[in-house]
Amino acid sequence: MTTALQASGLSKRYGHGLALADCTLSIPAGHIVGLVGPNGAGKTTLLHLAVGMLAPTSGTIEVLGGRPASGPAQLAKVGFVAQDAPVYAGFTVADHLRFGAHMNPGWDAALARDRIDQLGLDRRQRAGKLSGGQRAQLALTLALAKRPELLILDEPIASLDPLARSEFLRSLAEYTASRQVSVVMSSHLVSDLERICDYLIVLVASRVQVAGPVTDLLASHGQGLEDLVLDYMSRATRSSTPPAPQPIPEA
């Protein structure tokens, strides 16, 4: 089975502190993965390592069978939306689409155009004048129009109101339902992730606490997803030595 992301002994150190410690993961392709954990757990560090924005201190990471950002072909496979859905405030919506087409050889102009029309965005409007939800949707459009094999989203809905979050998640679910694409999305809003994710990673205190298909996790732990996540968070933060990742029982 194709692997979307694989890490072995992956660590990232800043000075004397570990932002990520001994991370070992193997995420099969074709899943919508929720990456959850408290602020400062290492979620953004893991995602930045996955897109090649950071280099590991030790260990290895592969994305879609290759080293992150190792060349144009590898970059083209991955779409990324960073925290706060960064867009260029002085650019119009149309400017963003032209920029996306210029930067991405596999750009799907029809997909970008259709999404902008469905969202009702004025192409003449500058991004700095858009609402938070509209900026997030514009950033998502730019990532999707690359036609990536893997879409990485770093807390893209954290600052949005409930309606904007719902619309963002609905549009993401509609896109992935009809296409062969893997998604890894970090968030601390478990209730939102529960609506669309079928694979879960819990990251606490720089370490992976558990990872596996949502159905297996729920079956083996006998509790709801939010309670399961809170249980792992509380156990890890109470312990001076966080527990090792636990295997998922065979179904």
The answer as to whether 243 is a domain residue is no
CA distance 25 to 247: 11
pLDDT digits (tens, 9 = 90+) for 145-187: 999 999 999 998 887 888 988 999 999 998 998 888 999 999 8
Quick one: which of 25, 31, 75 has its CA closest to 248?
25
The answer to whether the CB of 93 falls within 8 A of the CB of 41 is no
Q: Averaged over 85-94, what is the pLDDT?
A: 93
**Range(s) of the domain holding residue 51:** 3-25+34-87+149-216+223-238
pTM of the model: 0.89
The answer as to whether 69 is a domain residue is yes
- Containing 62, the helix (H) or strand (E) segment is strand 58-63
Q: For position 2, what pLDDT does the model report? A: 81
Those residues with Cβ within 8 angstroms of residue 222's Cβ, 6 or more apart along the chain or in another chain: none
Determine the 3-state secondary structure of 204 from DSSP: strand
The answer as to whether 46 is a domain residue is yes
Four-CA torsion 199, 46, 44, 22, nearest 10 degrees: 100
The answer as to whether 251 is a domain residue is no
pLDDT digits (tens, 9 = 90+) for 33-54: 999 998 889 999 999 999 999 9
C-alpha pair distances (Å), 226 with each of 107, 110, 192: 37, 38, 10
The answer to whether the CB of 64 falls within 8 A of the CB of 151 is no
Q: For position 22, what pLDDT does the model report? A: 94
The answer as to whether 127 is a domain residue is no
Provide the CATH number for the domain around residue 64: 3.40.50.300
State how many domains the chain has.
1
The answer as to whether 63 is a domain residue is yes
The answer as to whether 186 is a domain residue is yes
Q: Averaged over 12-24, what is the pLDDT?
A: 92
Q: Averaged over 6-22, what is the pLDDT?
A: 94
The answer as to whether 138 is a domain residue is no
Mean pLDDT of the chain: 90
Those residues with Cβ within 8 angstroms of residue 38's Cβ, 6 or more apart along the chain or in another chain: 188, 204, 233, 237
Q: For position 245, what pLDDT does the model report? A: 55
